[in-house]
Amino acid sequence: MLARIARVLSEDGIEIRAFTIAESGDFGIVRLVVDDHERAYFLLFDAGFTVSSQDVIGIEMESTTDALYRIASALGDGGVNIAYAYAFTNAPRRTLLIIRVDNNNLALDLLKRVGIETVSQ
């Protein structure tokens, strides 16, 4: 399945920047970060995949031992629940954390208050 997803997107010039795969009983869930999410959505839908789109927040994590703690505590103390998260590196000592939360606007405000910068695609 991953090969088919990658082929569908690559044939149309969509760059997969990050992905994660999770098993959920009888099916798998593939989460993607791509350079054109709207086109990717329709390409995968037209190829027969069950597709959904969700807003996520990208955070460029500092290379410090407490970076994840600062992010998680800012959100948790502010009442924001992290539904899922995954991280990847795109340069030496540079990690991008992708999170799905239950309240994007509040999460963005809480992160900004403690000096944590978010990134957009």
What are the φ and ψ backbone dihedral angles of 76, each rounded to 5 degrees? -60, -45
pLDDT band (50, 70, 90) for residue 121: low
Q: What is the pTM of this model?
A: 0.83
List, for residues 58-97, the tens digit of each pLDDT value. Answer: 998 888 889 999 999 999 999 999 999 998 877 777 788 9
Lookup: tokens for 10: 């690559």
Q: Domains for the chain: give ranges and CATH numbers.
A: 2-46 (no CATH), 57-119 (3.30.70.260)
List, for residues 86-109, the tens digit of each pLDDT value. Answer: 988 777 777 889 999 999 999 999
Whole-Å CA distances, 106 to 66, 73, 81, 121: 22, 14, 11, 19
